[in-house]
Amino acid sequence: MARPDKAAAVEELKQQFENSDAVLLTEYRGLTVAQMQNLRVSLGENVSYAVVKNTLTAIAAKEAGINDLDEFLSGPTAIAFINGEPPEAAKALRNFAKANSQLVLKGGYWDGAVLSAEDVNKLADLEPREVLLAKAAGAMKASLHQAAYLFTAPMVKAVRTVDALREKQDDAPASDA
């Protein structure tokens, strides 16, 4: 029989898994309380970073429909529950890990897929959403410009041909006289 406090902890973790856009798992062994506080601040308002018990986390993840996190749930584990843009949180974790070697990125879960530590680093390398949208808009604008050019090119060519023929006709009677 599960203790009520453990059942409540599992339910809370389950809710966080279900309500998060992504989760990133880390090992925090060796970090001081001050360093953990700095990490939480650097992650921003849209990320909840919590130290978790591996067994309870595994149960909560399974109840939330996430089955493949067991490989990351060994040793001291802390999870970043992300409500917002996962690349920003991944970048903050990676930057903090570079400055503090005790923090180790284990992996994560995003958009229905389990992420390895390498995948989390690739996620951190993504440009901000606004930059990606601007690039997509620029590519579409260039494509539209090219399409408009292709549609007008035959008409422009026809007009130039007619003008050339008209000039040729205008020149032809003047030389015959």
Percent of the chain with pLDDT over 70: 94
The answer to whether residues 31 and 39 touch, using CB atoms and an 8 Å cutoff, is yes
Bridge partners of residue 50, in order along the sequence? 79
pTM of the model: 0.68
Average pLDDT, the chain: 85
- Containing structural domain, residue 88: 3-126
Percent of the chain with pLDDT over 90: 24
3-state secondary structure 28-48: CCCCCHHHHHHHHHHHCCCEE
CATH of the domain at 79: 3.30.70.1730
- pLDDT tens digits, residue range 66-94? 888 888 988 899 999 999 888 888 999 99
Regarding whether 61 and 11 lie in a shared domain, the answer is yes
- pLDDT tens digits, residue range 126-153? 776 677 677 778 778 777 777 777 777 7
Structure confidence at residue 23 (pLDDT):
92
Regarding whether 82 and 10 lie in a shared domain, the answer is yes
Regarding whether 141 and 96 lie in a shared domain, the answer is no
The answer to whether residues 58 and 117 touch, using CB atoms and an 8 Å cutoff, is no
Q: Structurally, how many domains does the chain consist of?
A: 2
pLDDT score of 3 more than 70: yes
Q: Beta strands of the chain (E only): which ranges? A: 22-27, 47-52, 77-82, 104-110, 113-116
